Amino acid sequence: MNPFARTVIGYHGCSRSFADRLLSGALALHDWEPSQNEYDWLGHGIYFWEYGPARALRWAEEKCSETGEEPAVVGAIIQLGHCFDLTDEQNTLNIAKAHDLVKASFAAAGKPLPENRGGDEDLKGRFLDCLVVNYYLQQVSAVRYQTVRCAFAEGPPSYDGSMIYRETHVQVAVRDKACVLGVFRPT
């Protein structure tokens, strides 16, 4: 890991039972299973809201309302390591090239390219983005990225005519669990 990589605080929304197991040591950090949904915004990884504990809790409340579990948040100290940071213009150019490769591959196979979709303008089912990010990181990049980071403009405008959105956030997907230096219970 790059010893000079930036360190951030991330917040992971989850169930109280998961948080308790992780924070008590009953579940070791290296046993924390990454999300591998085909709609994950930044590809596969363990997802955190960078400096966003309230947003992580709201997400946990939404998910736990579906299962009847109690929501919770786990804080984490994350060293970004080799980070595929999509706030960096060079990386957005690289991902666009990866998209072109994926698109050509699907066309050659006569298959439709997945699309981002969802029930509102935020298109929270990021099927295309997940495919392209995973493809780039696994098939194109010579660098073994440990984390992926991106800013997302989400939600309604903060006020009429605004380009600032109420739910804008930075998300980090940790692909290498060694980047999680420690966890804590936010107060």
Mean pLDDT of 14-43: 95
Q: pLDDT digits over 110-165, tens only?
A: 999 999 887 766 667 789 999 999 999 999 989 999 999 999 888 889 999 999 99
What are 86-105's pLDDT values in tens digits?
999 999 999 999 999 999 99
Alpha helices in 34-88 (DSSP H): 53-67
Cβ contact 69:17 at 8 Å: yes
User: What's the pTM value of the predicted model, to 2 decimals?
Assistant: 0.92
13-39: b (≥16 Cβ within 10 Å) or e: bbbeebbbbbeeeeeeeeebebeeeeb
> Residue 122: its pLDDT value, please?
63
